[in-house]
Amino acid sequence: MDYQAVLEQVAADVAPLVGSGRPAEYIPALAAVDPYRFGMAVADVDGEVHGVGDWQEPFSVQSITKVFTLALVLALGTGDLWKYVGREPSGNPFNSLVQLEYENGIPRNPFINAGALVVTDRLQALTGDARGTLLEFLRAESGNDGLEFDPVVAESESAHGDRNFALAYFMASCGNMRGPVSRVLEHYFWQCSVAMNCRDLVLAARFLARHGVRADGSRLLTRSEAKQVNAVMLTCGTYDAAGDFAYRVGLPGKSGVGGEIIAVMPGQYTLCVWSPGLDARGNSVAGVAALDRFTTLTGLSVF
Ligand code: DON
């Protein structure tokens, strides 16, 4: 497969959509990003990377970090995570509060904010340094030792994080937070602020295409666990648009409000696309269209 030619075709096909939608506005540091950026990369399971457009430009990784913290907790934990967070689509926006009270403080899945806060809480309990453990993992898998948090984004998240405070304190009231809430939130805000580019992300996510095997050949997840993470990405990774994303793209995927999306074809490749204009559900307009074109042109999807 000539991935470079496919990416160039995809970029040309979606060019009219780049700039559609609106960058996330609820975090000022994200609202300032140029909506006309577009980058896309693919890595095969051996780590050969191709890219197009702004694929080497760093952006704020945001909710995509939820995939990596979940994988780390599954790898390091005691196997009881799923007692504290579910694995069903929520059908609600990623920062919704309403379901939590009906469901006794157990979030529907690890990819909505409430679920990700539970996962970060567990990672903090397991390691004593959730954000540091995440950054070390991302550096190792991407081969980029220069990866860093963006303090401006982290501070902006914290200053405008009232919803996340509400979610975390509510879960604490239900007994579903182990650590001090303020500490969990601090790690979560910094976690979201990691700056990476499409190249870094396709390499960092590669263990999901390699059935749990890391870049250095060691195993992070069992084959079953890698399947489980991919399955939850497929059903819950793009929030209340997960059904439409599966229909259009046909791959496990995870989006973030910076306008980035990763997608995984187990056994074959990982994809990352970035374009900051979001649709009403918080997914990149040009990004979803580009992934849709990629699987259509290549005929390579899990279906
Ligand atoms: O929790 C938040 O609001 C963000 N820092 C992460 C949001 C995000 O990317 C979720 N989804 N699109």
Which residues are known binding-site members?
Answer: 63, 113, 157, 164, 188, 239, 257
Give the start-to-end residue ranges of the domains of the chain: 3-298
For ligand 1, atom 8, the nearest C-alpha belongs to 63
- The answer, yes or no, to whether any atom of ligand 1 lies below 6 A from the CB of 113, is yes
Phi, psi values for residue 298, rounded to 5°: -85, -20
Under 8 Å between Cβ of 188 and 135? no
* Amino acid identity for residue 239 in this structure: Y
CA–CA dist 285, 281 (Å, integer): 10
- The answer, yes or no, to whether any atom of ligand 1 lies below 6 A from the CB of 275, is no
Average pLDDT over residues 115-128: 98
CA–CA dist 275, 38 (Å, integer): 5
Angle ∠(26,194,221) on CA atoms, nearest 5: 115
The verdict on domain 3-298 having CATH code 3.40.710.10 is yes
In the chain, where does DSSP find H-type helix?
Answer: 3-14, 28-31, 65-76, 98-102, 113-127, 130-142, 151-159, 162-173, 181-192, 198-204, 206-209, 223-236, 242-249, 285-298
Angle ∠(247,191,44) on CA atoms, nearest 5: 50
Using 50, 70 and 90 to split pLDDT, how confident is the model at 26?
confident
> Tell me, what's the ipTM?
0.94
Q: Which residue has the tokens 């009219």?
A: 16
Quote the distance between the C-alpha of residue 205 and its chain's center: 10
Closest CA to 200 of 265, 267, 148: 148
Ligand 1 pocket mutation pick from 22, 26, 113, 186 by most atoms within 8 angstroms of CB: 113
Ligand 1 pocket mutation pick from 60, 96, 257, 281 by most atoms within 8 angstroms of CB: 257
Render pLDDT for 154-163 as a digit per residue (tens, 0 to 9). 999 999 999 9
Render pLDDT for 169-200 as a digit per residue (tens, 0 to 9). 999 999 999 999 999 999 999 999 999 999 99
Contacts of 179 (CB under 8 A, 6+ apart): 121, 124, 125
- Which atom, in ligand 1's list, is nearest to the CA of 283? 12
- Which atom, in ligand 1's list, is nearest to the CA of 163? 3
Ligand 1 pocket mutation pick from 22, 61, 94 by most atoms within 8 angstroms of CB: 94
Angle ∠(51,54,55) on CA atoms, nearest 5: 35
pLDDT (0 to 100) of residue 77: 87
- pTM tops 0.95: yes
Q: Which residue has the tokens 């190792």?
A: 140
Under 8 Å between Cβ of 171 and 163? no
The token duo for 213 is 């095997």
Using 50, 70 and 90 to split pLDDT, how confident is the model at 221?
very high
CA–CA dist 92, 284 (Å, integer): 17
Q: With H, G, I as helix, E, B as strand and everything else as coil, classify residue 300.
A: coil
Render pLDDT for 27-83 as a digit per residue (tens, 0 to 9). 888 999 999 999 999 999 999 999 999 999 999 999 999 999 999 999 998 899 999
